[in-house]
Amino acid sequence: DYYRETYRPQFHYSPEKNWMNDPNGMVYYEGEYHLFYQHTPHDTRPDFGRMHWGHAVSKDLVHWDELPPAIPPGEDGAIFSGSAVVDKNNTSGFFNEEGSGLVAIYTNEGNKAQPGKSQVQSIAYSKDQGRTWTKYEGNPVLFPTDTLDFRDPKVFWHDESSMWIMVLAVRDRVEFYSSPNLKEWTFASEFGADIPGIHRGVFECPDVFRIPVDEDPNTMKWILMLSVGDRNGVNPNDPEPPAGGSGMMYFIGNFDGKAFTLDETLESFDSIKWVDYGSDFYAAVTWNGIPNENGRKIWVGWMNNWRYATTLPSEEWRGKTSIPRELQLRTYPEGLRLIQAPISELSQLRKPILSLQDLTIKPGMNVLSDISAAKAEIIAEFEIGTAVEFGFKVRKSSDQETIIGYNISNGELFVDRTKASTIDFHTDFTAKHKAPMKPEHERIQLSIYVDWSSVEVFGNHGKTIISDMIFPELESMGLELYAVGGELKVVSLQINDLVSIWG
Ligand code: FRU
């Protein structure tokens, strides 16, 4: 059946066949959301020497049509991660009389014309809504000076300086460049090399943008996003991200068109803010040019971890995206924090299963024993009572379960996937992932997205996130709401099925 293979995500994007990693070049243009991605169209394993940009489009960020790969590798080397922009004013000169078009800015890896400089930045343009692309004859447009790790350009238009800005991952730092025309780039500044504790892996896939604070579009703040890799470490003694392997950090500050400056000094690894405490959210970057761009920022990540990505047990394809998430900043007693919320467009998939209010749960009971669900949206609010731990067990059978819980004594949200899967495909996969999280006004709020091979948990209205893949049998469909050591008050609970996006 169409998109019904074992483990096939039902409301997440995955390519019909073969390998995908990072989402790339996300841009909205003439009514379509484009999603490009690192894709090996001929293999379920990554062929880094022949990496393409795969391509899918959507009108609503929920339903996707896969198109043929957009940008293939050639003499210029493989096509690694990057971004795409709408060149509204034809600054590049590529579009002449035809008006605006799309320009992709990406890394070429293994460019034969540049021996010893393995990664360079190149551009390509499209005059037909991203369906076909022409590589610029003046490529590459940017070369490294002193490092082989020089990649993943994220480009955006900076209104105040009327310039294109590129933020690039350069081994242990990010570098900013500016350009009037996307072809000539001038170095502006660098950031991150001196922050202690975060250099275990090289930096990858940076992004910089402004988002509203406390839902006020008149108060916008800059934020810098950074993925830190699991290989080619700079300082092997630095700690790993919370769930190990590859992970993502965020930094709040200011960007003046030239340099990014932090709001606070980061003295040690302990002051680093993490985007996700699960194992499987990486290389996320935001869409350029979406409607209401000043009030809305949306991103999507690769739901995976380089630690075991190439060994996943799905057979026809390997790799998928997270659900798209909307980003905001919110003020807390401890300062500003990133909030991620599932995009509201997902609500069109809802089919209500259950809704309850004001219920007391005692140890040993399961009010959800009648429900079976291989995918679901669970939205719940709890009042801390005498229980010491509570939560949901999802994708449950006699010998399988994924526990999404809150430990009251430790103040920790967790996903325990040690018994989530049948197949044992990698030693680092079997794990429990924890995130520090305090109750707010004596309450814990959870929004949970369960799909055929993943769970995404948004704690306290999107402040604390855990995203994890799981590989249960399709028949493991049991659901449980549990409490340990005392009583628990359920303020409200809604469970919805989410209808498959693949029709
Ligand atoms: C991140 C990454 C990028 C690179 C791409 C190659 O996952 O390593 O730095 O451009 O994947 O596929």
- Which tokens hold the place of 286? 């935001």
Tell me the domains of the chain and their CATH numbers: 18-342 (2.115.10.20), 347-498 (2.60.120.560)
Q: Which residue from 195, 204, 141 is spatially nearest to 171, judged by alpha carbons?
A: 204
Q: Are 13 and 35 in contact (CB under 8 A)?
A: yes
For residue 24 and ligand 1, the question of a CB distance below 6 A is answered with no
Average pLDDT over residues 9-36: 98
Q: What is the pLDDT of residues 166-194, one digit of tens each?
A: 999 999 999 999 999 999 999 999 999 99
Q: What is the pLDDT of residues 302-361, one digit of tens each?
A: 999 999 999 999 989 999 999 999 999 999 999 999 999 999 999 999 999 999 999 999
97-109 in b/e form (b: 16+ CB < 10 A) is: eeeebbbbbbbbb
What's the gap in Å between 441 CA and the centre of ligand 1?
41
Report residue 403's pLDDT band, with 50, 70 and 90 as the boundaries: very high
Could you identify the residue written with the tokens 């003295």? 267
What's the gap in Å between 80 CA and the centre of ligand 1?
6
- The span from the CA of 197 to the CA of 194, in Å, is 9
ipTM: 0.99
Contacts of 385 by beta carbon, 8 Å cutoff, 6+ apart: 360, 486, 487, 488, 489
Q: What is the pLDDT of residues 187-234, one digit of tens each?
A: 999 999 999 999 999 999 999 999 999 999 889 999 999 999 987 778
- The span from the CA of 227 to the CA of 259, in Å, is 19
pLDDT over 80 at 116, yes or no: no
For residue 151 and ligand 1, the question of a CB distance below 6 A is answered with yes
Q: What is the pLDDT of residues 412-424, one digit of tens each?
A: 999 999 999 988 8
Which residue's CA is minimally distant from atom 9 of ligand 1?
204
* Ligand 1 binding pocket mutation candidate from 80, 83, 171, 285 (most atoms within 8 A of CB): 80
What's the gap in Å between 159 CA and the centre of ligand 1?
29
Q: Which residue from 328, 286, 327, 278 is spatially nearest to 303, judged by alpha carbons?
A: 278
pLDDT over 80 at 1, yes or no: no
Q: Are 177 and 261 in contact (CB under 8 A)?
A: no
The mean predicted confidence, pLDDT, of the chain is 95
pLDDT at res. 98? 65
For residue 328 and ligand 1, the question of a CB distance below 6 A is answered with no
What's the gap in Å between 16 CA and the centre of ligand 1?
21
Q: What is the pTM of this model?
A: 0.97
For residue 22 and ligand 1, the question of a CB distance below 6 A is answered with yes
- Residue 502 CB burial class (10 angstroms; 0-12, 13-18, ≥19): middle
3-state secondary structure of 431: coil
- Residue 17 CB burial class (10 angstroms; 0-12, 13-18, ≥19): middle
- Which tokens hold the place of 10? 């039902």
C-alpha separations of 500 from 193, 376, 458 in Å: 44, 11, 21
Q: Which amino acid is at 252?
A: I
